[in-house]
Structure 1
Amino acid sequence: MNLVVYLAAGLFGLSALVLFRRPRRAVRDPLTVSTCVAVVLGALVFVCSAPLTLAAVNRLTGVPNFGAPLTYCMICAYSCSLLILLIHWRGGPPERVRRLVLRSIAAYVPLVAAIVVLFALGDARSERLADFDTYYANTPCLREMIVLYLVGHSAATLTMCVLCVKWSREVTGLLRAGLRLIMAGSALAVVGFQLTKCTAVAARWCGHDLDVLSTVVAPPLASLGGLLCSVGYVLPRLLPPLLAHARCLRDYRRLGPLWSRVRLVSTAPKPPSAWWQLPQARLRWREVSIHDALLSLAPYFDDRVRERALAAARDRGRTAHEARIAAEAAMLADAARRAAAREEPLPAPSGYRLHATEVSGTGGLVELAQAVAPAPAFPATRRDPRTRGNGEDLPWPSP
């Protein structure tokens, strides 16, 4: 049991660290803060409920079973944080959000205070690390304390299920997937934790022994339900930036052939080569460097090379856009070769604007890079002195 709950707590904590990776920015976002608080409290619930932790808390405080009310208070705080998270997630006018948050806090603070008072009034002299709920199910004050925390947690999870069902009908995409995961985790918590705990406690009230439901069945199901909820919280917040990083890394690599072609003429300053640099920063630097190189190569652009490549691409059945990109790649290859050979620029520069410089984003550069890729970097060709500089003896990428 200790391994299961500690593993669940570790995964919860890892989720919080990922979400709170930029503290200065995160503290300004109520949704991020409420998500991290909910995840951290969920991790603390699992840590506090482990028998090993309960024994350590009881030993440190010198109070038998002190870990039980501590765990119950954590469960109530976690339940309240779930409701606050959903309130922030749903959004709305700030005054309405603030009012609902205060109502949630006002409902659970007295519940936590009542748990502490009832434990102080009850008689829990015998230390119970795994079966406190069922062992003291008939003890005055402790019985009411157990019922209170079960009712408080059940109310929060049932409310979450209802809200997630209603809200999932109004949204799509990752938000709907996250809500369904939270709904599944909450349903599993209701069936696997509350129902089993309540059944075991009720059995004690009736004189029967179903402690196995509380000590063996409930912990792993509660851990699984909590993990599903944690994934549901994190998925809509974490997956979009991860996908954005993946797209930037893909475009960065796809621009490699074009960058290897023009890097010798780029004068853009190099950034610090830190391995932890985000893909967006690397992609942005490569885009700026390539545009700088294209500007430097403009005096070498030869319209005759481009027109020959354009005609060849059209003869091969390419579309107008594909033929244009192939022709631009051929003209760029010729310009890069002559610039690398330190030849003089053309006496009458082309003035032609590449498609990649007319569109925003990385798409135009990626298209040009893919057209440049098949050609060797600087092909060695036999040149006719009579046609030197007119581009007639220069190969271009296959369209």
Structure 2
Amino acid sequence: MSLVVYLAALVFGLSCVVLLRRPVTAVRDPLTVSTCVAIVLGSLVFVCSAPLTLAAVNDLTGIPNFGAPLTYGMLSAYSCSLIVLLINWRGGPRDRVRRLVLRAIAAYALLIVAVIALFALADADTERLTDLDTYYAGTPFLREMILLYLAGHSAAVLVMCVLCVKWAREVTGLLRTGLRLILIGGLLDLVGFQAAKYTAVAARWTGHDLDFLSTSVAPPMASLGALTCSAGFVLPRLLPAVRAHWRGLGDYRKLAPLWTLLRFVSAAPKPPVSWWHLPLEKLRWREVSIHDALLALAPYFDDRVRERARQAALRAGRGAHQARLLAEAAMLTDAARRAAAREAPLDAPSSYRLHATEVSGTGGLVELAQALDRSAAADAKREGTVRAAHGWNHG
């Protein structure tokens, strides 16, 4: 069981690592900080509740069941962090947000103090690593401690679910998806963890034994609910960035024909080669390098080459924009060839501006690269046709 709990804690905590991939920027954002705090506290709850951890804590302190108030206090802190996260996610006037956050922290700080005090007053000499809630369900002070921590967690999850239902009606897209995932995670926690715990404890009060609900059903349901909530909090924040990096990777690859032609010209400094460079960073460097190369080749631009290629494209039925791109690709290929051969620049260089330099972003460069690729493919096809005809005549 401990291995499963530790694995859940690891998976839970990884989302925090992803959110903090840029620590300097992340710590300035209250929403990111509160998200990471909630995820870290949730991971610590899993770690603390593992039987191996409970046994180690008990042995280290010399107090039987000392791991119980530690785990319950950590769970209460996690419950508080969920409310704080929702407050920051909702946003609003800064003073109001700060006031609500402080109230939530104060309420749960009192709850944690009460949990510790009740444990100190109770008689819990028999160590219980997996079934403490049911074993001590009727023990004075421990009974109140168990109900108190459960009630504090229930209140936080209920508030979270109600707010998610309310806000999901007001938003769309990824944010609504995230709220629905949080709601599902909250319901899994309410039904699978809390209801199981309450039922098992109540059964003990009435002389029945439903301990399996507390020891076998509640832990995995709590893990599943927490992981689902984590996905709901993280998804709306990470998925747009993932999509942007995926598009960046696609544009980076689409620029390959243009970069292959121009790389010998560019003098832009190269970044250190590392496999972990993000696609957008690699795309920005390639974009800057290509613009640097285009600037260096400008003295070799020949308007006559461009105009001949444009007229040929128009005669072939190309649209005006497509003909322009094919003409620019032809002019650029000619300029790169002459620059590579160390020919002298034109006496009267062209003042023509490429389409790619007139639009922002990488869209123009991608269009030019694709035109260059099509032009090269067409040239290769013509060359192959000529060679085949030549070989047929000789045969």
Distance 1:273 1:7 in 2: 33
Counterpart check, 1:116 vs 2:116: yes
- CA deviation profile, 1:353-382 (whole Å, cap 9, x unmatched): 1100111111000100111124449x89xx
- CA deviation profile, 1:216-247 (whole Å, cap 9, x unmatched): 11111111101101111221222222222222
Distance 2:335 2:196 in 1: 75
1:64 is paired with a residue whose SS is: coil
Instruction: Give the CA deviation at 1:203.
Output: 0.9
After TM superposition, what 4+ stretches of structure 1 lie above 6 angstroms from structure 2? none
Q: CA RMSD in A?
A: 1.7
Which segment is superposed worse, 317-326 or 37-46? 317-326
Is the Cα contact below 8 Å between 1:186 and 1:225 reproduced in 2? yes
Is the Cα contact below 8 Å between 1:174 and 1:235 reproduced in 2? yes
Query: How does the TM-score come out when normalised to structure 1?
Result: 0.91
Counterpart check, 1:344 vs 2:344: yes
Distance 2:376 2:322 in 1: 20
Alignment of 1:134-145 (within 5 A): 134-145=134-145
Which segment is superposed worse, 269-278 or 255-264? 269-278
Q: Which residue of 1 aligns with 2:75?
A: 75
Q: Which residue of 2 aligns with 1:243?
A: 243
1:259 is paired with a residue whose SS is: helix
Query: How does the TM-score come out when normalised to structure 2?
Result: 0.92
Is the Cα contact below 8 Å between 2:326 and 2:375 reproduced in 1? no
Distance 1:289 1:39 in 2: 40
Q: Give, as a single letter, the amino acid of the residue that structure 2 aligns with 1:229.
A: C
Instruction: Give the CA deviation at 1:337.
Output: 1.3
Q: Which residue of 2 aligns with 1:58?
A: 58
Alignment of 1:212-231 (within 5 A): 212-231=212-231
Give the share of equivalent positions with the same residue, in percent: 74
Instruction: Give the CA deviation at 1:40.
Output: 0.6
Q: Give, as a single letter, the amino acid of the residue that structure 2 aligns with 1:350.
A: S
Counterpart check, 1:296 vs 2:296: yes
Q: Which residue of 2 aligns with 1:209?
A: 209
1:161 is paired with a residue whose SS is: helix
2:140 is paired with a residue whose SS is: coil
Which segment is superposed worse, 11-20 or 101-110? 11-20
Distance 2:204 2:210 in 1: 8
Q: Give, as a single letter, the amino acid of the residue that structure 2 aligns with 1:171.
A: V
Distance 2:325 2:192 in 1: 60
Distance 2:171 2:83 in 1: 19
Distance 1:264 1:66 in 2: 68
Instruction: Give the CA deviation at 1:23.
Output: 2.7
Q: Which residue of 1 aligns with 2:14?
A: 14
Counterpart check, 1:195 vs 2:195: yes
Distance 1:269 1:117, change over 3 A: closer
1:265 is paired with a residue whose SS is: coil
Is the Cα contact below 8 Å between 1:266 and 1:290 reproduced in 2? yes
Instruction: Give the CA deviation at 1:288.
Output: 1.7
Instruction: Give the CA deviation at 1:326.
Output: 1.1
Q: Which residue of 2 aligns with 1:394?
A: none
Instruction: Give the CA deviation at 1:70.
Output: 1.0
Instruction: Give the CA deviation at 1:343.
Output: 2.1
- CA deviation profile, 1:310-343 (whole Å, cap 9, x unmatched): 2222233322211111111111111111221222
Distance 2:188 2:212 in 1: 18
Q: Which residue of 1 aligns with 2:131?
A: 131
Q: Give, as a single letter, the amino acid of the residue that structure 1 aligns with 2:159.
A: T
Which segment is superposed worse, 333-342 or 86-95? 333-342
Distance 1:139 1:273 in 2: 63
Is the Cα contact below 8 Å between 2:267 and 2:293 reproduced in 1? yes
Q: Which has the higher helix share?
A: 2
Q: Give, as a single letter, the amino acid of the residue that structure 2 aligns with 1:156.
A: A
Q: Which residue of 2 aligns with 1:43?
A: 43
- Could you tell me which runs of 5 or more consecutive residues in structure 2 were left unpaired when the two chains were aligned: 381-395
Is the Cα contact below 8 Å between 1:325 and 1:368 reproduced in 2? yes
Q: Which residue of 2 aligns with 1:364?
A: 364
Is the Cα contact below 8 Å between 2:268 and 2:288 reproduced in 1? yes
Instruction: Give the CA deviation at 1:64.
Output: 0.9
Q: Which residue of 1 aligns with 2:29?
A: 29
Q: Which residue of 2 aligns with 1:87?
A: 87
Instruction: Give the CA deviation at 1:265.
Output: 2.2
Distance 1:105 1:30 in 2: 15
Is the Cα contact below 8 Å between 1:185 and 1:228 reproduced in 2? yes
Instruction: Give the CA deviation at 1:57.
Output: 1.0
Is the Cα contact below 8 Å between 2:329 and 2:375 reproduced in 1? no
Distance 1:258 1:51 in 2: 59
Distance 2:240 2:58 in 1: 44
Distance 1:239 1:133 in 2: 39
Is the Cα contact below 8 Å between 1:4 and 1:223 reproduced in 2? no
Q: Which residue of 1 aligns with 2:271?
A: 271
Distance 1:156 1:258 in 2: 56
Is the Cα contact below 8 Å between 1:302 and 1:350 reproduced in 2? yes
Q: Give, as a single letter, the amino acid of the residue that structure 2 aligns with 1:152.
A: G
